[in-house]
A and B are shown apart, each in its own frame.
Chain A
Amino acid sequence: MAVTLDEVRRIARLAHLEVTEEELPRWAAELGKIIDYVNELAEVDTANVRPSTDPASPRAPLRTDAAEAGLDRDAALSAAPRTHDGAFAVPAFVDES
Chain B
Amino acid sequence: MSVLDLDLHELAGRVRRGELSAEEVAEQSLERIREASALNAFLHVSEDAVRVRARELDARRARGETLGALAGVPIAVKDSLCTVDAPTTCASKILTRDGTKESGYRPPYDATVVDRLRRADALLVGKTNQDEFAMGSSSENSAFGPVLNPWDITRTPGGSSGGSAVSVASGLALAALGSDTGGSIRQPAAFTGTVGIKPSYGRVSRYGLVAFASSLDQVGPFARDVRSAARVLEVIAGHDPRDSTSRETPVGDYVAACDREPKGLRIGVPEDYFGPGLDAEIAVAVRAALDRLTTEGCRVVPLSMPTTAHGVATYYVLATAEASSNLARFDGVRYGMRVERAGADLASLYRASRGAGFGAEVKRRILLGTYVLSAGYYDAYYRKAQAVRELVRADFARAFEEVDVIVTPTSPTPAFLLGERLDDPLAMYLADVYTLPASLAGLAALSLPVGLTEAKAGQATLPIGLQVMAPAFAEDTLVRAAAAIERSSHFAGRRPPA
Contact = CB atoms under 8 A, between A and B. Distances in A.
Interface range on chain A (Cβ under 8 Å from partner): 35 or more
A18 B391 contact: no
Contact of A11 (B332, B335, B337, B374): B374
Interface stretch (B359-367, B447-455, B489-497): B359-367
Interface in A1-57: 3, 7-8, 10-12, 14-19, 27, 30-31, 33-35, 37-38, 40-42, 44, 46, 49-56
A30 B424 CA distance: 9
A73 B336 CA distance: 18
A8 B105 CA distance: 31
Interface residues of B, number: 74
Interface in B364-393: 364, 366-368, 370-372, 374, 380-381, 383-391, 393
B216 interface: yes
Nearest to B386: A51
B350 A91 contact: no
B437 interface: no
Contacts of B241: 63
Interface in A49-91: 49-56, 60-63, 71-72, 75-76, 78-82, 88, 90-91
A46 B317 contact: no
A79 B215 contact: no
A79 B335 contact: yes
For chain B, what secondary structure do more than half of its interface residues adopt (helix, strand, loop), or is it mixed? helix
Contacts of A63: 241, 244
Contacts of A18: 351-352, 354-356
Nearest to B350: A16
Contacts of B460: none
Contacts of A34: 316, 368, 425-426, 429
A52 B386 contact: yes
Nearest to A55: B442
A15 B333 contact: no
Interface of B: 97, 105-109, 201-202, 215-216, 239, 241, 244-245, 247-248, 307, 310, 312-314, 316-317, 324, 328, 331-338, 340, 344-347, 349-352, 354-356, 358, 363-364, 366-368, 370-372, 374, 380-381, 383-391, 393, 425-426, 429, 440-442, 472
